[in-house]
Chain A
Amino acid sequence: MTQEVSVEERAVPLRTEKRLAEDSFLTDDFLRQLINVGEVDILVGLPTHNNAKTVGPIVQSIQAGILRDFPRERAAIINADGGSRDGTPELVTGISIDDVRRTANLYTLRTLHSISTQYANTPASGVALRTILSAAELLRAKACVLISPESTNIKPEWLSKLLRPIYNEGFDLVTPTYRRHKFEGLLITNLLYPMIRALYGTRIREPYATELGFSGRLGGQFLGQNNWDDGTGQTGLELRLTLAAISGGCRICQSFLGEKDHVERRAADLIPALRQTVGTLFSALEADFPVWSAVAGSQPVPSNGPESEVGLEPLRINRKRLREMFSTGVAELASVFQSILSPSTLAELQRIAGLDEDDLRYPAELWVRTVYEFAVSYQKSVINRDHIIQALAPLFRGRAYTFLVENRDTSTNDVEKNIESLCLEFERLKPYLLEMWNGRK
C-alpha cells in the first residue's frame, strides 16, 4: 500500500544580502533549508534567470518524472536563480504537485522538496552550478541531474533516462543524445565531438550538454577540483564536468532523449558559444595534457538508445552570407592569423577564401590543422586568448558552409559517414598537434 506524504513547498528567500557561512559560500537561508531536508537520493538542479515563460512546464515534467520513476526515493529540486525579475523562483516553488498527481494518477512515498535560492543579482552559470553541486554534496545525493530551464520539450522520462544508469548501474556520468536536424549543432559535429574523441579517446556525441546526469561522487570530486575563484573556471562548466569525468576515468554512458529544442540557441550566439565550448576545451587541454597525450585511437561509450538521430527536413539557410563572412574574415584578419596559424595553413586558407561560391570547399584536413594550430596558439598565448577564440569564428563559418554544401542532398547515413570521416581526420592528425604542442614544430 502506498503512503503519500504531502509536498513541502518552501517560500523563496527574499533576502538578497549574503553572508558567507563558515565552510560554505551558500547563504544562511539556503543552508537552513538544506539542513531541514536532510539527505536525498535524487537531486534535480535547475539553474534559472528570467525563465518564467518556460519554467512551469519544465518543473511539472520534473515532478512527473520523479513521481513516475522514483516514487520510493528521497528527492529534491534545487533551483539556483541568478536574480530573476519575472517571478521565476516563485513559479518553481509554487507549482503544485497535486496537479501532476491528479492528471497522471501517480503517488510518491517520500517528500519531494523544492528549494529556490538566489545566488546573485546577475546570472552566472558557474556560480549556479557550484550552488547545485554544493547542495548535492550537503544532501549526500546519490544521483543528480541538471536540467536546462529552456528545454521546452522536456519529457518526464528524461529524468529516468539520465538518472537510472547512475542510480542502478553505477555510472558516474550520463550525457544525452538527441534527434537533431543534420545542420543543427555544427560546432558540436565539426569541432567539439571529433576533437574530444581524438584527444581523450572517448566518443561522447554531446560533450556540451545542458541536460546531464552525474553521480554524487563525481559532483563532489568536481566541486573540489575545479578552480572556482579563477575567472576561466566559471564558463562552460557542463563541458568541464564531462572532461573531468573522462580524465578521472569515470564510468560514462549516453542516453537518447529524443527531439532537442532549445529556445536560447540562435546563430547570433556563435561567439559566446565558442567561448563556452572551444575556449573551455582549449584551456582544459593544458591541465589534461598527461591524460590526452597518452591516448591513441578512440572507444565508444555504452548507449541507451541510438547514438544520434538525424532529421532531414528542408531548411532555408543563407549559405551565401556564411561564405561572404568567411572570405571577408580571412582577408581582414590576415594580420591576426599570422600570429596564430602556420604560413602554409594561412596561405591555403587565403587561396580557398578567394574561390568562387561553387568551388569553395574547406577540406577536412585543412580544418583539422587549423583547429589544432589554434589550440597550440591558445596554449602559448601568442595573443590575447579571447581574441584567438573570436578569430576562429569566421573560419568556423567557412567550415559550416562546406558542411552545408557537401551534405545538402545526403541521407542520414551519408551525414553520419561524413562526420565519422572528419573524426578519423582529427585522430589521424593528432601527432601533428602533439609535435606542435611539444614545440618540435
Chain B
Amino acid sequence: MRDMIVSELSQAMHELARGFAHFLPRLIVMLVLAFVGWVIAYIAKILLRSILRLIKFDRLSDNAGASQLLTKAALPSSSELLSRFVFWVAWLGFILLGVSVLGILGLQEQIARFFLFLPRLFVALFIMFFGLLAASFFSRAALLAGVNANLPSPRLLSISIRSVIIIFVLSVVFEELGLAEQTMLVTFGIAFGAVMLGLAIAFGMGGRDLARRFLETRFLRRKKEENEDELSPL
C-alpha cells in the first residue's frame, strides 16, 4: 500500500516535472515573442507617428471634426491616438501569438477569431474617419451656401446634414464590426424616420406661420428688389 502511494506520488511528480519541462520552453518562446512584439510594435508606433506628422494628419483630423471630439473626451491628438492604437494592436497580436504557442485548449479558437476580426476593425476605423471628414465638409458647404444665399437658420441646416451623415456612418461602422446589427438597423430606421416625420410635422403644421412669413419675405423682397439698383462686384 505504502509502496503504491509512493509510486503514484513519484509518478505524479515525474509527470509534473515532465509537463513543466514541456511547458517551460513554450513559456520562454511566448516571453520572447512578447518582447520581440513589443520592440516591433514600438518601432511601428514611432514610424507611424512620424509619417502622420509628415502628412499633417492632425490638420486633416481638425477638418474632419475628429479633433474636437477627442479634445472633449480628454484624449490625445488623432495622430498620437492612432499610433498608440497600432502599438497596442500589434503588441497584443504578438502576445496572443505567444499564448497560442502555449497550446492551451479552447484559447486557440478565440485567438483565431481575434485575428479575423482585426481587418474589420481597421475597415470600420477607416469608414469612421472618412465619414467624419465627409460630414464636416458637407455641413460646412451647406452652412456657407446657406449664409451666402441669405437663407433662414443656415446653422440648423448644417447641423442636420452633419447629423444625418454621422448617423449613417455609425450604422455602417457597426454593421462592419458585426456589433448589434439588428439593433443598429432598427435604431437607425427609427431615428431617421423620426427626424423626417418631425421635419414634416414641423414644416407642415408647426411651421405654417414661419413658412408663410418666409415666403412673404422672399416675394416681397423680390418685388422690392425690382426697384433697386444692383451693384456689380467687378
Mask of A157-187 contacts with B, CB within 8 angstroms, 1/0: 0000000000000000000000000011111
Interface residues of A in 305-323 (CB under 8 A from B): 315-318, 321
Residues of A with C-beta under 8 A to B63: 383-384
Residue of A nearest to B158 (CB): A332
Q: Is the CB of A332 within 8 A of B234?
A: no
Known contacts A316-B227, A325-B150; is-contact A265 B232 (Cβ 8 Å): yes
Q: Contacts A318-B225, A382-B59 given: A185-B144 contact, CB under 8 Å? A: no
Partner of A383, one of B140, B150, B154, B232: B140
Would you give the shortest CB distance from B12 to chain A, in whole angstroms?
72
With a cutoff of 8 Å between Cβ atoms, the chain B residues found around residue A125 in the complex are none
Given contacts A333-B143, A387-B140, contact A183 B234 (CB under 8 A): no
Interface check B197, CB cutoff 8 A: no
Q: Lowest 6 A-B CB distances belong to which pairs? A: A265-B232, A187-B233, A390-B144, A315-B229, A267-B230, A273-B233
Please provide the chain B residues from 18 to 56 with a CB less than 8 Å away from any CB of chain A in the complex: none
9 additional A-B pairs beyond A186-B231, A332-B146, beta carbons within 8 Å, are: A267-B230, A316-B228, A329-B147, A332-B154, A333-B143, A333-B147, A336-B140, A384-B63, A390-B148
Interface residues on A, range: 35 or more
Q: List 19 A-B contacts (CB under 8 A).
A: A185-B232, A187-B234, A265-B232, A269-B234, A316-B228, A317-B228, A318-B228, A325-B150, A329-B148, A332-B146, A332-B147, A333-B147, A336-B140, A382-B59, A384-B63, A387-B140, A390-B148, A393-B148, A396-B233
Residue from the set B137, B224, B233 with the largest chain A CB neighbour count within 10 Å:
B233
A441 within 8 A of B: no
Q: What is the CA–CA distance of A277 and B232 in the complex, to the nearest angstrom?
A: 14
Q: Give B30 Cβ to nearest chain A Cβ, in Å.
A: 48
Residues of B within 8 A of A266 (CB): 230, 232
Contact with A along B135-176 (1 / 0, CB 8 A): 001001101111110100011000000000000000000000
**Could you say which residues of chain B place their CB within 8 Å of the CB of A187?**
233-234
Residue among B150, B155, B231 with the most chain A CB within 10 A?
B231
A423 to B192, alpha carbons, bound, how many Å? 53
What 0/1 pattern do residues 64 to 89 of A give for CB contact below 8 A with B? Answer: 00000000000000000000000000
Chain A neighbourhood of B145, CB < 8 A? 390
When A318-B225, A328-B150 are in contact, do A336 and B144 touch as well, CB less than 8 Å? yes
Closest residue of chain B to A400, judged by CB?
Answer: B231
Residues of chain A lying within 8 A (CB to CB) of residue B232 = 184-185, 262, 265-267, 269
Cβ of B62 under 8 Å from chain A: yes
Provide the residues of chain B in CB contact with A332, threshold 8 Å. Answer: 143, 146-147, 154-155
B-side contacts of A384, CB under 8 Å: 63, 137, 140-141
Instruction: Determine which of B137, B147, B229 lies in contact with A328 in the assembled complex, contact meaning CB atoms within 8 Å.
Output: B147
Contact A387 B225 (CB under 8 A): no
Contacts A316-B228, A325-B150, A339-B62 given; indicate if A387 touches B234 (C-beta within 8 A).
Answer: no
Q: A185-B234, A271-B148 are in contact. Are A336 and B143 (CB under 8 A)?
A: yes
